[in-house]
Amino acid sequence: MAAAILTATASDLGARIAARELTAVEVTRAFLDQIGRVDGAVHAFLHVDAEGALAQARGVDERLDAGEALGPLAGVPLALKDLFCQEGVPTTAASRMLEGWRPPYSATVTQRLLDAGVVILGKTNLDEFAMGSSTETSAFGPTYNPWDLARIPGGSGGGSAAALASFEAPLAVGTDTGGSIRQPGAVTGTVGVKPTYGGTSRFGVIAMASSLDQPGPCARTVLDAALLHAIIAGHDPQDSTSIDAPVPPVVEAARSGDVAGMRIGVVTELGGEGYDPGVLRRFTEGVAHLRAAGAEIVDVSCPHFRYALGAYYLIMPSEVSSNLARYDAIRYGRRVGDDGTRSTEEVMRLTRGDAFGDEVKRRIIIGTYALSSGYYDAYYGSAQKVRTLIARDFEAAFAQVDVLVSPSTPTTAFKIGERTDDLLAMYASDLCTIPANMAGVPAGSFPCGLSPEDGLPVGLQVMAPPLADDRVYRVGAALERALAAPDGGVLSDRLAPRWTPDAPKEA
């Protein structure tokens, strides 16, 4: 019974709980037991709220037994990235700066999950303050990829993706600033979607770069991600960037998966030199499946995408410098060296030096420099101009095609420690995902098989116009359906994850 629960889709679990074939409590216990079995090796979670999760599950069971109609994911457990405030539950952003902090309120996304009856198992690991591409910068240690414990699970949301891939949760929520949902999804063989900027609320989410951050769903199937998207999305007056518009019909699109007649553009700038041959092979095969499903495939050039990485690493650190200025040992976070003899400035210096990790310090310094007098126009101002050109590339492309596709990442999961001393290689992990954040368009990563070179998951990225999130799910569902079909060709035996949930793969 436990294995059947762990490997079931979230939509199936929700339906069986609603039909009272399963109780929310027994489903929650199954996943808590799985966390106990494998998380010592994977380290997906920073905090497991077993007591709180079981209490939430009991509440769902009581409401269902009383005849109350609940949503399709009521009683289904979820792993929550440790950037989302949850009242009374430790929330750290994987930083010593916030160690031990328990928020007095919940983020809008967190509250919508609870209102929908979704059971929150606990908080997942991430790169400190979401700054990283490998979940190696966490102050509490790295997370490991369940496919190969010697490799990274992506970042910054590696904990959420690893929890899915190791069957510790059927659902997860992450945030995506430059690929932090999609890149982990790609390298763990899971589904991750970044909604249109403003489509999900940032209220109560610890900020990294406010013009880029966006919460989004993570799951093992396209439909599960869409059902979760429908719960967390929608206008929020507490977020000034929230879009006051209907949520796109993502669930209907995920159920349909009909791409007949769609024009799909392959971005020519996102491929070629620097990309693993195995990644390109699986991507090409995935595109062929979409063509076989009735889509028209064309090549599309987005010439300014090649400048996205450089521009991003000026805009993002600038916003980091501004957002993290609040952690000054006076208003927020921990305080070091305040023995009554030191000045405020010295306490601030000691605190920030002690509580921030190296990558956080690096980005604060870069951002402060880029915003400084005499350099603002040359760096930050110029990067914003590039951002406009990238947005125009998207506009021109979407005048020709319905969606754009590319590999989600240039490579499969690299080994722990392999890029910690090579920052350019580390930052290049987000080469394919950053343009969508710069323009605010929706994008998702969907499994398209395992690389023939190393047997590790490969992701195919789908990008759509603003507020056309449903197109992302429609294409993702078509790909998922093609790969799952008995006649799915060479990819049918390469779906992820295939290994038993009893334990993660050995390093």
Instruction: Tell me how long the chain is.
Output: 507
List strand residue ranges (DSSP E) for 202-335, in order: 215-219, 263-267, 296-300
Question: What pLDDT digit, counting tens, does each position of 131-175 carry?
Answer: 999 999 999 999 999 999 999 999 999 999 999 999 999 999 999
User: What is d(CA 38, CA 261) in angstroms, rounded to the nearest whole number?
Assistant: 44
Domains along the chain with CATH numbers: 2-260+444-491 (3.90.1300.10)
User: What is d(CA 267, CA 35) in angstroms, rounded to the nearest whole number?
Assistant: 39
Token reading at 125: 């690991």
What is residue 492's predicted lDDT score, i.e. its pLDDT? 32
- Does pLDDT of 498 surpass 50? no
The question of whether 123 is a catalytic residue gets the answer no
Antiparallel, parallel or unpaired: β 263-267 and 296-300: parallel
- What integer is the mean pLDDT of 29-47? 97
Which residues fall within 8 angstroms of residue 69, CB to CB, at 6 or more apart? none
What is residue 505's predicted lDDT score, i.e. its pLDDT? 54
User: What is d(CA 301, CA 39) in angstroms, rounded to the nearest whole number?
Assistant: 43
Question: What pLDDT digit, counting tens, does each position of 183-224 carry?
Answer: 999 999 999 999 999 999 999 999 999 999 999 999 999 999
φ, ψ for residue 462, nearest 5 deg? -120, 130
What is residue 502's predicted lDDT score, i.e. its pLDDT? 55
Question: What pLDDT digit, counting tens, does each position of 95-129 carry?
Answer: 999 999 999 999 999 999 999 999 999 999 999 99
User: What is d(CA 333, CA 139) in angstroms, rounded to the nearest whole number?
Assistant: 15
- Does pLDDT of 494 surpass 50? no
**What does the longest C-alpha to C-alpha distance in the chain come to?**
74
Question: Which one is catalytic: 106, 133, 138, 180?
Answer: 180
Question: What pLDDT digit, counting tens, does each position of 424-452 carry?
Answer: 899 999 999 999 999 999 999 999 999 99
What is residue 244's predicted lDDT score, i.e. its pLDDT? 97
| Least confident interval from 70-84, 131-145, 337-351, 383-397 | 337-351
End-to-end CA distance of the chain: 28
Alpha-carbon Rg of the chain, whole angstroms? 21
Strand partners, 462: 405, 444
Alpha helices in 372-422 (DSSP H): 382-398
Question: Which one is catalytic: 156, 160, 321, 406?
Answer: 156
Antiparallel, parallel or unpaired: β 263-267 and 403-407: parallel
| Contact indicator for 479, 288 with CB cutoff of 8 Å | no
The question of whether 81 is a catalytic residue gets the answer yes
What is residue 336's predicted lDDT score, i.e. its pLDDT? 87
Higher per-residue pLDDT: 347 or 503:
347
Higher per-residue pLDDT: 495 or 150:
150
The question of whether 95 is a catalytic residue gets the answer no
Question: What pLDDT digit, counting tens, does each position of 215-232 carry?
Answer: 999 999 999 999 999 999
